[in-house]
Chain A
């Protein structure tokens, strides 16, 4: 397949599979990640995000399928890829009993950086990631957010072309999360391609493109807008008094995919098989004439719920 590859893709996979005994953790995954973009994996716990990333970094051998990352065939060329990529693992994997500076020194030496250039690069990273005050603190004694910034500093120390981030913000508060994403966009602007996994909708929405994973399957992919546009459901919000009861009655209808309460409103996803959701809803007994019904713009969460619904039904 590599002959068909143009230079525009950082990652391409075809029919990528990974089995653990009976379990199929990744099933026929096709991916096209463009260079210079931020690509997201969105999915619940256990859907295979980490497994996919491990295969893309060459740490895990695929059971079958083709992988090409930065023009290198994996797992054959995994050794060459290591110099060009950075990987921030889901679990903090630097040394807890080393200080910030010692950790960075270690990583720098491993990537062949030493002496003056190393000092300069480490200084630079410390100030980018706000770790100046923490140089002599043991990594194990830092807060979740600080540790995550240290991990990002270590993963980007050798200025990799491609960066893998596995749930980088799971231990980080919203304020720090925003800042973290600013830094990702900075890296992206300087030409780094980034693949990031998450189970937060707001983070997924920031990605240039994303894939929604469930049970090892890719359920949908594209830009957030494309995904919302092409969604297979209407999104309707109903204002009523007895929302709990209304939800019960709506959920039994075959055309209603799901209904979720949002404060005083009920957000209802209705299959596209229904041509006009407003008329459809007004025909239902449970809807009172005085209830307000509005068609609203879909969110990524709606997309997620619609395309991962199969297993719940």
Chain B
């Protein structure tokens, strides 16, 4: 037993020294979370605003100009261009000069007066005349996010047009936002980013671990010694556990100070679920490492795992909205389970016991990964 620990420690120290001398990798440990966090934290914003749009004002009346101003005031769109024909407007959308165009018809003043949103009381539903919309949006629907934002303008009240207080509708449902009441995307993205960055760095570092020894010719010496596969595997992943924790500290620290993402859960819980996920990712990297025969191959395989982890884990799109097939793939990925756990712990202060399924899954994944990697790593040169 003492010998086993000594050999694990030997590999561990060796990895640590090599890591320290490898300035590039060491820099990446710090830079990847920093840069990604700044990028994602500021750039990803699900509240779309100031979409550049144009207007074709056929009526050319005072009321149409007020209409344009009222819409501008919502800040959803920003009128940047004016066109004089519908054809010109369509060409502008094709060129991506604007993402949508508002077409104001000739009889806009008439339409407004009879329109319910103007607040002159509800017209009878059968009234053909008054149920006509007052103007039309032509939207570049290829970006669903932008199209959705403009669609949200469909039922915009227009009472302000006549300087009258708007009708107060009684909503059908009352919605109470338990967490993230201001609906800031950073609150959801920062904890998710922990999962993505760990997937990226942890798998990448270990995926190259055995391959590097193979490529540099160290493997022949190593397998001629009494070191066992499992000792080699453990010694190689332990240093990266510390690195993973350091990265989590950087991400959540900046998330807290710069983006004001609260950490509601206990630090013990946080460390626990993170360690589980780090271990799962590291063993996945080791498995890749025993399959690949060059560093290029191991990088390719890392990306093969990374892409679904970003797209399917619930980081980008809600898990619930995905088709069943995609959900099944997502269930296999450690990132999906971690995404639930860390959001639960950081944002909702959930005890990880309550999410036992995800916890067990990560544990199982780690054990399976370590076993497969140790079995696959044959101590000969076949």
Using an 8 Å CB-CB cutoff, how does the interface string of A209-251 with B read, 1 for contact, 0 for none?
0000000000000000000000000000000000000000000
> Are A110 and B224 touching (Cβ within 8 A)?
no
With a cutoff of 8 Å between Cβ atoms, the chain B residues found around residue A102 in the complex are: 14, 17
Chain A residues, CB < 8 A from B225: 82, 107, 110-111
A184 within 8 A of B: no
- Residue of A61, A89, A107, A114 near B220 (CB, 8 A) is A89
Which of A36-44, A93-101, A171-179, A291-299 has 4 or more CB atoms under 8 Å from chain B? Answer: A93-101
Q: With an 8 A cutoff between CB atoms, is A106 at the interface?
A: yes
Stretch from A52-60, A127-135, A252-260 forming part of the interface with B: A52-60
Contacts of B217 in A (CB 8 A): 89, 91-93
Q: Mark A84-120, 1 if CB is under 8 A from B, else 0.
A: 0101010111111110001001110111101000000
- B329 sits at the interface (CB 8 A): no
Asked whether A83 is an interface residue with its Cβ less than 8 Å from the other chain, the reply is yes
| Distance of A154 Cα from B22 Cα, bound (Å) | 24
Inter-chain CA distance A92–B216, complex, in Å, is: 9
B21 neighbours in A (Cβ, 8 Å): 97
Q: In the bound complex, what is the Cα–Cα distance between A212 and B227 (angstroms)? A: 34
Total interface residues on A, using CB and 8 Å? 32
Of the stretches B2-10, B60-68, B147-155, the one at the interface is B2-10
User: Which residues of A are found within 8 Å of B17, using beta-carbon distances?
Assistant: 97-98, 102
Q: When chains A and B are docked, how far (Å) is the Cα of A91 from the Cα of B223?
A: 15
Chain B interface, number of residues (Cβ within 8 angstroms): 27
Instruction: Answer yes or no: A78 CB below 8 A from chain B CBs.
Output: yes
Residues of A within 8 A of B18 (CB): 95, 97-98
**Quick check: is B221 within 8 A (CB to CB) of the other chain?**
yes
A107 to B379, CA, bound (A): 17
Q: How far is the CA of A112 from the CA of B14 in the complex (A)?
A: 15
Which residues of chain A come closer than 8 Å to B220, judged between CB atoms?
Answer: 59, 87, 89, 91, 93
A138: nearest chain-B partner, CB-CB: B21
Any B CB within 8 A of the CB of A75: yes
Does B13 make an interface contact (CB < 8 A)?
A: yes
Question: Quick check: is B218 within 8 A (CB to CB) of the other chain?
Answer: yes
Q: In the assembly, what is the distance between CA of A60 and CA of B6, in Å?
A: 27
Q: Which of B3, B22, B224, B381 has the most CB of A within 10 A?
A: B224
**Least distance between A99 CB and chain B CB atoms (Å):** 9
Query: Are A109 and B6 in contact, with the CB atoms below 8 A?
Result: yes
List of A residues within 8 angstroms of B226 by Cβ: 79, 82-83, 110-112
- Establish whether residues B218 and A94, one from each chain, have CB atoms under 8 Å apart when the complex forms: yes
Contact B221 A61 (CB under 8 A): no
Do residues B382 and A112 form an inter-chain contact, with CB atoms below 8 A? no
Q: What is the bound-complex CA distance between A158 and B233, given in angstroms?
A: 23
Smallest CB–CB gap between B377 and chain A, Å?
A: 14
Give the chain A neighbours of B216 by CB distance below 8 A: 95-96
Query: Would A110 and B218 count as touching, CB distance under 8 A?
Result: no
A89 partner, pick from B6, B221, B380, beta carbons under 8 A: B221
Chain A, 50-81, contact with B by CB distance < 8 Å: what is the 0/1 string?
00001001111100000000000001001100
Q: Is B7 within 8 A of A110, CB to CB?
A: yes
CB neighbours of B14 from chain A (8 A): 95, 98, 102, 106
Scan B194-221; emit 1 where CB is below 8 A from any A CB, else 0: 0000000000000000000000111111
Once the chains are docked, how many angstroms separate the CA of A59 from the CA of B6? 23
Are B221 and A93 interface neighbours, CB within 8 A?
yes
Contacts of B381 in A (CB 8 A): 54, 59-60
The B1-48 residues at the A interface (CB cut-off 8 A) are 3, 6-7, 9-10, 13-14, 17-18, 21-22
**Interface CB pairs A-B, < 8 A, 6:** A79-B226, A94-B221, A106-B10, A109-B9, A112-B7, A114-B6
Q: A60-B381, A109-B13 are in contact. List 7 more A-B contacts (CB 8 A).
A: A85-B224, A87-B224, A93-B219, A97-B18, A98-B17, A110-B225, A112-B226
